[in-house]
Copies of this chain bind each other. A is one copy, B any other.
Amino acid sequence: MNNPQQDIRHTLESYFDRLWPICRSITGNGLRESLKILSEIAPMKLTEIPTGESVFDWIVPKEWNITDAYIITPDGRRVAEFKQNNLHVVNYSIPVDQEMTWDELRTHIHSIPEMPEAIPYITSYYKENWGFCVAHEELVTWPKEGVYRVVIDSQLEAGHLTYGEAVLPGSSDEEILFSTYLCHPSMANNELSGPLAAALIYQAVAAMPERKYTYRFLFAPETIGVIAFLSRYGEELKSKLRAGYVLTCCGDPGGFTYKRSKHRHSLADRAAEHVLSFQNTPHRVIEFAVGGSDERQYCSPGFNLPVGSLMRTPYQQFKEYHTSLDNKSFISFQSLQETVEVYTQIVRTLELNACYVNRIAHCEPQLGKRGLYPSSVDPLFNREETHRLLHFLSFADGENDLIYIASLRQESSLKYESIIRDCRNANLI
């Protein structure tokens, strides 16, 4: 039997498996390769910004690429191998090939004593440095005497920073933005869950028969990538953006967390909270705070865009965060697919939402003559639906939007799809 939900989960998993081993960073070929794979689902236009270009207060750094890295212990073991797990090398490490004692090496080695089986994830983008990350339980087996050989075969050179945009035009150029980051090496919830969700939302939006809004999906390295994007498109976005969401931590099995835009009651916030309030999965709403992801850039004072973030368990609130334990077994493809489904409901809500105007403004419309008011002795009589219709028309004054009108009855605005169609057909709106 063909089960569309299972199909979605299989798609998610197969792309996850292809993207997982790639060593991504904020620049470099791992990032480009990942964008190319996701382009199979969400065809993207790539932008390459050269090293040294100023983007607001920042400068695009050198491009980093890496081929291999490892340590040979004094007792001859090859450890901390990049090819075994790309977290083993501090991201953006400069090239190294030298021998040294344990005392020289130790300040370059990172582990987490409280989580002895986890390899930490460490970066040093803006300060030239090198290092290795290892599970603490392995580190304790390393000899303190003798000579270590340390190899990092990386390049840090003038190049480019890359980001990708997939755009689905609508009947207006008002935009809805989905922004996700692609810059962490092998990590699951705090990396691949976001781009995978974005790609599947792209598919769902592409399949819609018509679209009022233009949808932009941004796949960019966190922070510097979004700053670069905003340096090119930010002013246009300020005039066009109606709602946006940062996708991250979309795949763990926890409940939903919606983090509001700084504005607190933007359309992005209202649509997301409206949809969440009708889900069975528990959810909570938190206010904007700078700790987090790229909402920090979108909501900076110079932009203050209506961008929130619907997640499951937020960054730093799960212990696997930024370690090798944030892996495939930590996430659930069913959770990830449910997140995609909720985002899709948000899209449908945004598309349906409007400040409709009831043309029969004075007193209630005579529904009977339009065949919209079944007699109370009619077996087809649906009091609930008739009330909903009258409720909608009573509040459809051109100032209340549908989200507000539906919320007055504590029900999803998606329940008004057929009513709005009927009203259009009867020339009532």
Contact = CB atoms under 8 A, between A and B. Distances in A.
A129 B299 CA distance: 63
Interface size class of A (residues with CB under 8 A): 35 or more
Interface stretch (A63-71, A144-152, A286-294): A286-294
Contact of A297 (B131, B363, B409): B363
A222 to B, nearest CB: 12
A289 B227 CA distance: 47
A408 B360 CA distance: 41
B391 A302 contact: no
Contacts of A409: 289
Nearest to A368: B126
Nearest to A375: B127
Contacts of A231: 362-363
Nearest to A289: B391
A58 interface: yes
Contact of A363 (B124, B289, B302): B302
A376 interface: yes
A242 interface: no
Interface in A382-396: 387, 390-391, 394-396
A114 interface: no
A366 interface: yes
Interface string A152-189: 00000000000000000000000000000000000000
Contacts of A129: 377
A105 to B, nearest CB: 14
Contacts of A126: 366, 368-369
A396 B363 contact: no
Contacts of A375: 124, 127
Interface in A68-116: 110
Q: Please tell me how many copies of the chain the complex holds.
A: 3
Binding site of A, secondary structure by majority: helix, strand, loop or mixed?
loop
A190 to B, nearest CB: 15
A234 interface: yes
Contact of A362 (B230, B290, B358, B396): B230
B56 A360 contact: yes
B304 A360 contact: no
B291 A394 contact: no
A263 to B, nearest CB: 12
A301 B56 contact: no
A297 B56 CA distance: 52
A302 B377 contact: no
B303 A391 contact: no
Given A287-B408, A290-B390, A391-B289, A362 B296 contact: no
A362 B302 contact: yes
Nearest to A399: B301
Contacts of A396: 301
Interface string A207-230: 000000000000000010011001
A397 B304 contact: yes
A254 interface: no
Closest 7 CB pairs between A and B?
A302-B361, A302-B362, A301-B397, A290-B390, A227-B363, A301-B361, A297-B363
Interface of A: 55-59, 110, 122, 124, 126-127, 129, 131, 223, 226-227, 230-231, 234, 262, 287, 289-291, 296-297, 299-304, 358, 360-366, 368-369, 375-377, 387, 390-391, 394-398, 408-409
